[in-house]
Chains A and B, each alone.
Chain A
Amino acid sequence: MLKRTPLFDVHVRSGGRMVEFGGWEMPVQYTSIVDEHLAVRKAAGIFDIAHMGEVMVSGEAAADFLNHSLTNDIRKLFIGLGQYTLMCNERGGVVDDLYAYRLGENEYLLIINASRIDADVEWLNQLWNAFPAREKVTLRNVSDTTGAVAIQGPAVSTFINSCFTGKSTGGLHVECANDLKKNEIGQFDFNGDLVWVSRTGYTGEDGFEVVAENGLLTAIWDKVCESGKASGLVPAGLGARDTLRTEVCYPLYGHELDENTTPIEAGVGSFVALDKGDFVGKTTLASQKAGGVTRKCVAFKMTDKSPPPRPQYTIWKAGDTSAPIGTVVSGTQSPSLSLGIGMGYVPATDAKPGTPLEIEIRGRRFPAVTVGKPIYRK
């Protein structure tokens, strides 16, 4: 039985085409992936991300526990700031990638992937059980009662204050939601209820994410749609979310990241803080940062007319027929660039931008070239 978010009825009434994603029934698109994608790049879009998980971590030793469990340095967070970070296993493989926000002195919010909620909570509980100061740390998985929406695009800053009004009352103290800077989070009023608003997203555009009790999500969705309509805001589905994040090379768990891949191989080593003391996975990650890795996640563009590259397609070195060198993990037709783009794992020796590749599509090879990340830049 697929799970549904509190916004399911909203999607159906908005013409959303519902598909399975990580055990959830989610809208892949409402009108067209390309139209929704371009609306987010040029104006604004709203996404249901209520399937994602939320874990509250609190207590005197919460920061120590998170610094032991996650790769980035949680001590860099002032109250009202968030950071991208990863949770690794002892081998340095990625259990999940996530956002960690500091909401109060000893209060943290983790936003985790929908498909990883059970695995993350189990792993965090295991780490908690082995953590010496565990009595000073409380973990609460609030995924079932808490949801979120993402409001993304260059026009969002023009109407966000009319959706979430007044000064913040928690997190970072700011005069209005639009005063938040990248990665900052504050608590704001929404029709008499309190919601968390952060300046974050997964599209490469300016934008906000709103975390709220499930019961508020439909009213938030409707209010944002009404406030953003004049600016060109449209509801956007998982299809556009995937093409947007692929253009800017943000990793997606299950594609670029899994338990047998390290953050260094995936190209997100800048979110691994080796100077913060001991943490889970550090031994492998430190040796990879110092000594290098054997395979790397590269971005590539197709160079001729070709079918779009797709996950699982085989990567060859151009002109070399002896053996394939890797596998595509994300691939699509880029709506912004109108050409095939993707990411894949290849030997580190073939990872330099400008390396000619061939992507095998239905038995034929099409030329491609590795490029720097992000693939799309404004």
Chain B
Amino acid sequence: MSNVPDKLKYAKSHEWVRVEGDTATVGITDHAQHELTDVVFVELPKAGRSVGAGEACAVVESVKTASDIYSPVSGVVTELNPGVVSNPALANTDPYGAGWFYKIKLTNPAETSSLLTAAQYKSQIGG
């Protein structure tokens, strides 16, 4: 059974969001890392890039395939996680902690209210 922390928000496309003031941290869910298995490469957006909600802005590669990661919220990327770039397996072993992807300054904080709650995401993944 996948871990879905209650305090986070979720996108249908399997990213999680932790909102703190006008900044959010983004990563992929435990369910997503389990589906991908064996993450071997993570490509993140450059700091300073403006991304829109739903825009493909990162790529996660497993042994078998490359998968796009969609930004759950609109904003400007402020910080990348160098840890997950140098050790992509962190996305598997600690998806909500050391395996986070990027931080983003929200340009439309109201969007976060349309993200899924933990309960809604759990029901989406059948958990």
Binds B, one of A29-37, A53-61, A322-330: A29-37
**Contact residues, A211-225 vs B (CB, 8 A):** none
A32 partner residues in chain B, CB cutoff 8 A: 37-38
Does A310 sit within 8 A of B, measured CB to CB?
yes
Does A243 sit within 8 A of B, measured CB to CB?
yes
The answer on a CB contact under 8 Å between B64 and A307 is: no
Interface size class of A (residues with CB under 8 A): 10 to 19
Nearest to A333 among chain B residues (CB) is: B40
With an 8 Å Cβ cutoff, the count of chain B residues facing the other chain is: 11
Contact status of A239 and B64, CB under 8 A, knowing A307-B59, A362-B59: yes
Contact status of A333 and B37, CB under 8 A, knowing A33-B64, A307-B61: no
Chain B 25-41, CB-CB to A under 8 Å as 1, else 0, gives: 00000000000011011
Does B79 sit within 8 A of A, measured CB to CB?
no
Nearest-Cβ distance from residue B66 to partner chain A, whole angstroms: 7
Does A28 sit within 8 A of B, measured CB to CB?
yes
Nearest-Cβ distance from residue B2 to partner chain A, whole angstroms: 15
Bound Cα distance A308, B38 (Å): 12
Does A82 sit within 8 A of B, measured CB to CB?
no
Nearest-Cβ distance from residue A217 to partner chain B, whole angstroms: 25
Nearest-Cβ distance from residue B32 to partner chain A, whole angstroms: 14
A31 partner residues in chain B, CB cutoff 8 A: 37
B63 partner residues in chain A, CB cutoff 8 A: 33-34, 239, 243, 308, 332-333, 335
Bound Cα distance A206, B88 (Å): 32
Beyond contacts A33-B38, A307-B66, A335-B63: 19 other A-B pairs, Cβ-Cβ < 8 A, are A28-B64, A29-B37, A29-B64, A32-B37, A32-B38, A33-B37, A33-B63, A239-B64, A306-B41, A307-B41, A307-B59, A308-B41, A308-B63, A310-B66, A332-B64, A333-B41, A333-B63, A335-B38, A362-B43
What 6 pairs across the A-B complex have the smallest Cβ distances? Answer: A333-B40, A33-B63, A34-B38, A307-B41, A32-B37, A32-B38
